[in-house]
Amino acid sequence: MKLRVVIGVVFIVGFTSLLMWNFGNSIGSFTGFSEAEYTGQRHHVVGKWIEDKPHGFDHHRMVFSFYMEDEEGEVRQVQFNKPKPNNFEDAESLVVIGQMRNGIFYSDDMLVKCPSKYNDASNLETASI
Amino acid sequence: MIGTIGTASLVIAFLASIVSMVAYFLASKKNQTNPNIEKIGHLFFGLKGAMVFFASGLLVYLIFTHQFNYFYVYNYTSTDLSSLYLWAAFYSGQEGSFLLWILCGFVVFLGIIKWTDDTYRAPVMFFLTLTQFFLLSMVIGVTIFGVHIGASPFRLTAAEFAHLPVFQSNPDFIPAEGSGLNDLLRSPWIIIHPPVIFVGFAMMAIPFAFALASLWKKKYHEWIYPAFPWTLGANLCLLIAIFLGGYWAYETLSFGGYWAWDPVENASLVPWILGMAGIHTMLVQKKSATSHKASLLFAILAYAAIVYQTFLTRSGVLGDASVHSFVDLGLYNQLLIFILAVSIIGLGMYLYRYKELPHQDKENPFLSREFLMFAGAMSLFLTALIISVGTSSPIIGRLFVANPTPPIPQFYNDWTLPFAIVIAILTVLTQFIWWKKFDSGEQFAGELITPTMTASAITVLAVILTGINNIFYMIYLFAAIFAVVGNSIVMYRLLKKKPKMIGGTVTHIGFAVLLIGFLGAAYDTPMLDQQTINYNAAVERGEVIDDQGFPVVQNIEVFILYKNQPKLINNEYYVTYKDAEITHAKRPGEQEYTILFENRRTGKQFQMNPLFYPMIANSSPGNMSWTVEPSVKTGLTHDLYLYVSGSSLVERENKRISDEATFQAVADILMDERAGTYDFNDVLRISPGNSQRIGQFDITFNRFINMDESELPDNAIVGVKAEIELHDIQKQVRETVTPTFALIYEDGDNIVYSPETSFEHQEFTVVFENIETASDQVKLRFIGLEEHIEDEWVLISLEKKPLVSTVWLGTFLLMFGFSIAIVRRWSDQKRRYRQQKSQ
């Protein structure tokens, strides 16, 4: 009995610590461009696409580039190594995942947060009174 | 009016559920159930169900009659929806899906009233009505003592958008059109996927209620007999729902795969795994009257997991963590109370009775079926725990960082892999011991020689053939094959003696086949042309340098095809873009592409037809979102997975609709006879720094260049040049020209001077016609360009996905096995029931 309990406790403690340690390493932090620039590491940056700045897909380099404003108000160019994701125009916010280098954010993964259908007033805002 | 009736019926239902709950409680308070009070419980339970059905009927009626003054109808439907999708719109929003959940619960729990014996019926119904009480509270939408409870599906649009000018000036305004069902949900799968989930969720409450009833009534053993088939049923439903969701995501939604460890997916996986753990401990309990504690715990946890994941996905906690959009309906507090109540009541009663629960005096030997089964159940439990930790990252992650992101998928993969190995091996050991008593360890080991040797041989062969070089994957593959072989041996023996009992072995084989299939996902590879492959290799070596002198780090994962120009892909197929057609097949503006594949060696041809379509209902004016439906070529060893990432046709169509404000106008243009043509007329207007695309030409207006006096033509008042960069994508040439725009004063008139400027590599010219001072746009006329537009291109994402069919096969085997087990357990339970009655 004793031995089993000891083994059990050791296992539980070991398992939990290892799990949490690895979990801590597996998650990142949503940050802004300035921190991404500062650390140079891989980051998740949340922001909004700036529609009136140039954007487009470069067919030579196969890179989709656009400007994004993060939640702190910083604006940077983002270069995404895939074509423009679906729903891009529709997104209420974007999460770009990648690295900052020399003022440009190089992203290889992007989450496009679609506006919930909730409170979708787009038809009503333009409705004639 | 109808809304008031609807809300009223939900309130009545809510009150009835309270009455029935209290009645069931009172009925089961004494040792002997009070049948009269219990009848009152049934009566009000029935009333509650009838009222919810009535309210749902009203909501469906509102949807079908397009009464857009109701917010739910406005928000999830539009007049263009077919009746199929109007029906699905009933549960497309959170309020409706809660209703569906309650309805499924009601119907399933009628079965409990009918088929459960007197001992458990009333207390079980008490706990079931308790769960329904919480669910109903989410949709009543009334304010009691200043606290607003729930979000009613009968809310009015005017109330919801009271801040908009249109409602401020006219509160009686009724929108003529709804905002429509999300385009991604317009798929036949939506008819079946959500109802199956909610039947599963509802059924999972049954083992929970039985467990709590047994704790309450101190009858710790018998509950598993009636609860067992329901638990199997709940797990079967969740499995089917998970499969449907995965298949939907893979086949039509272009999520890129069938599984992404997304919180919504985990929300049904975790309860499924815990349900599995419970099923196994219940089996032990049946066979050897031990492991009561574990069965009770897993039954409680499986339902708590459902409620917890509901909390995570519906409270808005997950915000940025998922591709799914979660709406916070203001139910955060209520959902929190729900999960706290379920956990506190469940675990509280469990701990309160813990000392009393039957326990074994002597421990099971290591190689006993009890111990092995328990080890398997524990492994399942830990797997569920790991996935829950990962899914909870927005909460638990705060221990580590301020704004935690979800864990990388590798976290889930790394941590579930060892448990999958353990579980796979345990299935074989347990199955051998389960059906046969062994006198000694040696005898047992002797039995295992055949499956071990066979599995080793197959694994070695597979490793050699496929070139797997990761040691963990090899062990994993061995474990899975071992499980297939071992369980097949047991199944073969059973088939001869007790064919009705093969359910367990079939599910184990299905599970193992599934594990083999999952391995394929580790070897998904993009298929590309040689040039891109070389480029990516160079990027990998750090040899590609960008304009600013930094090494490029990003790979290219798509390739471009020009019409009728074959490209050799992966040194395997000649791939040709044959055609694109605007078909309007399922929605306005839908495009179908024809991509031809020809095997380089065999010359065999086949065709893939991906779709591309505008999501009109999801888009805002001026910004059309487009999405894709991939084309999948299913194969025995691997699938080819192809979708279009963009094309000349899409860009043209986009240009035609770019200025339209309402989606009816957009739809009209998309449907008109000019669909697919260029809308260009030689003239382009571009602002500084922007570019536009005409056919294969990318035209960028970089900047204005001021002209020196000396450069200006005679008599010019003012003059400026525009730096225009022309990029011919097909020929891969770039050149810059600087056409002039000047005003000349002559004979008292201002005359525009804008000479034709020719390009070195092109046979057309450009004229800088005007500057639009308001917007700084230049007006450029390209003379003769239109004849040179010959480009029809398409961007292709193509992936080879090994063993996807194997995943489906494994899932089907699992479903099949579950079904066999349910049939058998159900008839067992009925026989027991009859025996009890006759005694």
Q: Report the DSSP pairing between strands A63-70 and B142-144.
A: unpaired
On whether residue A121 sits in a domain, the answer given is no
Strands (DSSP E) found in B69-170? 142-144, 147-149
Q: Looking at beta carbons, which residues of chain A come within 8 Å of B386?
A: 19
Q: How far apart are CA B253 and CA B184, in angstroms?
A: 7
- Asked whether residue A100 falls in the same domain as residue A88, the answer is yes
Give the percent of chain B with pLDDT over 70.
96
CB B745 within 8 A of CB B715: yes
Average pLDDT, rounded, for chain B:
89
- Asked whether residue B690 falls in the same domain as residue B661, the answer is no
On whether residue B746 sits in a domain, the answer given is yes
- Asked whether residue B752 falls in the same domain as residue B665, the answer is no
Cα separations in angstroms, A112 against A49, A85, A92, B320: 11, 8, 8, 9
Q: How far apart are CA B455 and CA B478, in angstroms?
A: 6
Closest Cα in chain B to A83? B645
What single letter denotes the amino acid at residue A65?
Answer: S
Q: B68 touching A, CB under 8 A? A: no
Three-class DSSP category at B232: helix
- Asked whether residue A18 falls in the same domain as residue A69, the answer is no
Nearest CA to B508 out of B276, B350, B669 is that of B276
Q: What is the CATH number of the domain that holds A44?
A: 2.40.50.140
Closest Cα in chain A to B364? A1
Q: Worst-scoring range by mean pLDDT, B300-304, B308-312, B435-439? A: B435-439
On whether residue A129 sits in a domain, the answer given is no
- Asked whether residue B644 falls in the same domain as residue B709, the answer is no
On whether residue B363 sits in a domain, the answer given is yes
Q: Give residue for tokens 């099971």.
A: B364
Element (H, E) at A45: strand A43-49
Tokens of B475: 């062990």
State phi, psi for B376 to the nearest 5 degrees.
-65, -45
- Asked whether residue B572 falls in the same domain as residue B630, the answer is yes
Q: Looking at beta carbons, which residues of chain A come within 8 Å of B382?
A: 15
Domain that holds residue A50: 32-113
Angle between helices B369-391 and B263-288 (to 10 degrees): 160
Q: How many contacts (CB atoms, under 8 Å) link A and B?
A: 179
Q: Cα angle at B446 between B443 and B451, to 5 degrees? A: 140
- Asked whether residue A38 falls in the same domain as residue A90, the answer is yes
Tokens of B685: 């207007």
Cα separations in angstroms, B628 against B82, B259, B612, B642, B738: 21, 18, 4, 10, 40
Nearest CA to B817 out of B462, B452, B483 is that of B483
Classify residue B614 by burial, with Cβ atoms within 10 Å: 0-12, 13-18, 19+.
buried
Q: Worst-scoring range by mean pLDDT, B53-62, B360-369, B482-491, B688-697? A: B360-369
Q: How confident is the model at residue A119 (pLDDT cuts 50, 70, 90)?
A: very low
On whether residue B142 sits in a domain, the answer given is no
Q: Report the DSSP pairing between strands B567-569 and A43-49.
A: unpaired
Virtual torsion, Cα B143, B144, B145, B148, nearest 10 deg:
-40
Q: Looking at beta carbons, which residues of chain B come within 8 Å of A77?
A: none
Rg (CA), chain B: 33
- Comparing B591 with B314, the larger pLDDT belongs to B591
On whether residue A23 sits in a domain, the answer given is yes
- Asked whether residue A7 falls in the same domain as residue A54, the answer is no
Q: Worst-scoring range by mean pLDDT, B310-319, B334-343, B603-612? A: B310-319
- Asked whether residue B642 falls in the same domain as residue B580, the answer is yes
Question: Which candidate in B398, B554, B628, B725 is best for mutational testing of the A interface (most A CBs within 10 A)?
Answer: B554
Q: B364 touching A, CB under 8 A? A: no
- Asked whether residue A43 falls in the same domain as residue A25, the answer is no
Which pLDDT belongs to residue B326?
58
CA B689 to chain A, closest CA, distance in angstroms equals 7
Which pLDDT belongs to residue B338?
95
On whether residue A14 sits in a domain, the answer given is yes
Question: How many other C-beta atoms are found inside a 10 Å radius of the C-beta of residue B55?
Answer: 27
pLDDT at A117 over 50: no
What single letter denotes the amino acid at residue B791?
Answer: D
- DSSP codes joined into one string, B173-228: ---SS-----GGG-STHHHHHHHHHHHHHHHHHHHHHHHHHHHHHT-TTTTHHHHH
On whether residue B519 sits in a domain, the answer given is no
- Asked whether residue A46 falls in the same domain as residue A109, the answer is yes
Q: B336 touching A, CB under 8 A? A: no
Summarised one tens digit per residue, pLDDT across range B707-717 is 887 777 777 88
- Asked whether residue B692 falls in the same domain as residue B735, the answer is yes
Tokens of B369: 């079926």
- Asked whether residue B551 falls in the same domain as residue B588, the answer is yes
Q: Do A62 and B556 touch (CB under 8 A)?
A: yes
Q: How far apart are CA B222 and CA B358, in angstroms?
A: 13
- Asked whether residue A83 falls in the same domain as residue A106, the answer is yes
Question: How many other C-beta atoms are found inside a 10 Å radius of the C-beta of residue B364?
Answer: 17
Which pLDDT belongs to residue B793?
87
Q: How confident is the model at residue A67 (pLDDT cuts 50, 70, 90)?
A: very high
Q: How far apart are CA B76 and CA B97, in angstroms?
A: 12
Q: Do B690 and A54 touch (CB under 8 A)?
A: yes
pLDDT at A126 over 60: no
On whether residue B436 sits in a domain, the answer given is no
Q: What is the ipTM of this complex?
A: 0.85
Domain total of chain A: 2
A29, A113, A125 ranked by CB distance to B164: nearest: A125
Q: B159 touching A, CB under 8 A? A: no
- Comparing B352 with A58, the larger pLDDT belongs to B352
B709-712's contacts with Cβ under 8 Å and 24+ in sequence apart are: B712/B742
Q: How far is CA B701 from its chain centroid? A: 42
- Asked whether residue A66 falls in the same domain as residue A15, the answer is no
CA B690 to chain A, closest CA, distance in angstroms equals 6
Domain that holds residue B663: 531-670
Q: Do B76 and A117 touch (CB under 8 A)?
A: yes
B170, B327, B615 ranked by CB distance to A118: nearest: B327
Q: Do B661 and A126 touch (CB under 8 A)?
A: yes
Averaged pLDDT, B350-379: 86
Closest Cα in chain B to A44? B405
Q: Is the dihedral of CA B161, B166, B170, B174 positive or negative?
A: negative
- Asked whether residue A43 falls in the same domain as residue A62, the answer is yes
Question: How many other C-beta atoms are found inside a 10 Å radius of the C-beta of residue B823?
Answer: 14
Q: How far apart are CA B139 and CA B99, in angstroms?
A: 7
Q: B360 touching A, CB under 8 A? A: no
- Asked whether residue B614 falls in the same domain as residue B701, the answer is no
Question: Which candidate in A123, A126, A128 is best for mutational testing of the B interface (most B CBs within 10 A)?
Answer: A123
Q: How confident is the model at residue A60 (pLDDT cuts 50, 70, 90)?
A: confident
Summarised one tens digit per residue, pLDDT across range B224-249 is 999 999 999 999 999 999 999 999 98
On whether residue A89 sits in a domain, the answer given is yes
Summarised one tens digit per residue, pLDDT across range B764-817 is 889 988 888 777 888 888 888 877 776 688 999 999 999 999 999 999 999 999
Q: B164 touching A, CB under 8 A? A: yes
Helices assigned H by DSSP within B116-183: 118-137, 157-160, 165-169
Q: Looking at beta carbons, which residues of chain A come within 8 Å of B795?
A: 57, 83
DSSP letter (8 states) at residue B624 = -
CB B816 within 8 A of CB B506: yes
- Asked whether residue A6 falls in the same domain as residue A38, the answer is no
Which pLDDT belongs to residue B141?
87
On whether residue B522 sits in a domain, the answer given is no
CB B544 within 8 A of CB B551: yes
Averaged pLDDT, A113-117: 57
- Asked whether residue A58 falls in the same domain as residue A24, the answer is no
Tokens of B777: 């746009």
Q: Give residue for tokens 């519906």.
A: B314
- Comparing B158 with B386, the larger pLDDT belongs to B386
B320, B407, B727 ranked by CB distance to A26: nearest: B407
Q: Do A83 and B550 touch (CB under 8 A)?
A: no
Cα separations in angstroms, B389 against A16, A31, B363, B386, B415: 11, 22, 31, 5, 11
pLDDT at B117 over 90: no
Give the percent of chain B with pLDDT over 90.
53
- Asked whether residue B251 falls in the same domain as residue B395, the answer is yes
On whether residue A104 sits in a domain, the answer given is yes
- Asked whether residue B691 falls in the same domain as residue B648, the answer is no
Q: Do A83 and B795 touch (CB under 8 A)?
A: yes
pLDDT at B590 over 80: yes
- Asked whether residue B651 falls in the same domain as residue B705, the answer is no
Which pLDDT belongs to residue B680?
64
Nearest CA to B378 out of A21, A12, A13, A1 is that of A12
CB B152 within 8 A of CB B10: yes
Which pLDDT belongs to residue A123?
57
Average pLDDT, rounded, for chain A:
81
State phi, psi for B350 to the nearest 5 degrees.
-65, -50
List all residues 6 or more positions away from A28 whose beta carbon is below 8 Å from its beta carbon: A42, A43, A44, B401, B404, B405
Which pLDDT belongs to residue A129?
39
- Asked whether residue B621 falls in the same domain as residue B656, the answer is yes
- Asked whether residue A94 falls in the same domain as residue A107, the answer is yes
Which pLDDT belongs to residue A128?
45
Which pLDDT belongs to residue A28?
81
Q: Report the DSSP pairing between strands A104-113 and A75-80.
A: parallel
- DSSP codes joined into one string, B391-454: HTHHHHGGGT-SSBPPPPHHHHHHHHHHHHHHHHHHHHHHHHHHHS--SSHHHHHHHHHHHHHH
Q: How confident is the model at residue B90 (pLDDT cuts 50, 70, 90)?
A: very high
Q: Do A117 and B325 touch (CB under 8 A)?
A: yes
On whether residue B212 sits in a domain, the answer given is yes
Cα separations in angstroms, B46 against B15, B17, B118, B397: 12, 9, 19, 44
Summarised one tens digit per residue, pLDDT across range B388-428 is 999 998 888 888 888 888 888 899 999 999 999 999 999 99
What single letter denotes the amino acid at residue B713?
Answer: P
Q: Looking at beta carbons, which residues of chain A come within 8 Å of B360?
A: none
- DSSP codes joined into one string, B572-583: TEEEEEEEEEE-
Domain total of chain B: 3
On whether residue B128 sits in a domain, the answer given is no
Q: Looking at beta carbons, which residues of chain B come within 8 Å of A82?
A: 557-558, 645, 797
Angle between helices B409-435 and B471-497 (to 10 degrees): 30
What single letter denotes the amino acid at residue B31?
Answer: N
Q: How far is CA B543 from its chain centroid? A: 39
List all residues 6 or more positions away from B78 whose beta carbon is below 8 Å from its beta carbon: B177, B178, B179, B180, B181, B617
Nearest CA to B100 out of B111, B89, B84 is that of B89
CB B796 within 8 A of CB B642: yes
CA B284 to chain A, closest CA, distance in angstroms equals 21
Q: How far apart are CA B78 and CA B68, in angstroms?
A: 8
pLDDT at B546 over 80: no
Domain boundary among B373, B407, B441: B407
B93, B403, B411 ranked by CB distance to A30: nearest: B403
Q: Worst-scoring range by mean pLDDT, A91-95, B476-480, B535-539, B734-738? A: A91-95
Q: How far apart are CA B34 and CA B553, in angstroms?
A: 74
Helices assigned H by DSSP within B498-599: 503-521, 530-540
Three-class DSSP category at B588: coil
Stated pTM of the model = 0.87
- Comparing B101 with A93, the larger pLDDT belongs to B101
Closest Cα in chain A to B691? A54
Closest Cα in chain B to A53? B690
Q: Do A89 and B620 touch (CB under 8 A)?
A: yes
pLDDT at B688 over 50: yes
Q: How confident is the model at residue A77 (pLDDT cuts 50, 70, 90)?
A: very high
- Comparing B804 with B680, the larger pLDDT belongs to B804
On whether residue A83 sits in a domain, the answer given is yes
Q: How far is CA B231 from its chain centroid? A: 24
A79, A87, A120 ranked by CB distance to B625: nearest: A87
pLDDT at B674 over 70: no
Which pLDDT belongs to residue A115?
57
Averaged pLDDT, B164-188: 83
Per-residue HEC secondary structure of B262-301 comes to CHHHHHHHHHHHHHHHHHHHHHHHHHHCCCHHHHHHHHHH
Q: Do B400 and A24 touch (CB under 8 A)?
A: yes
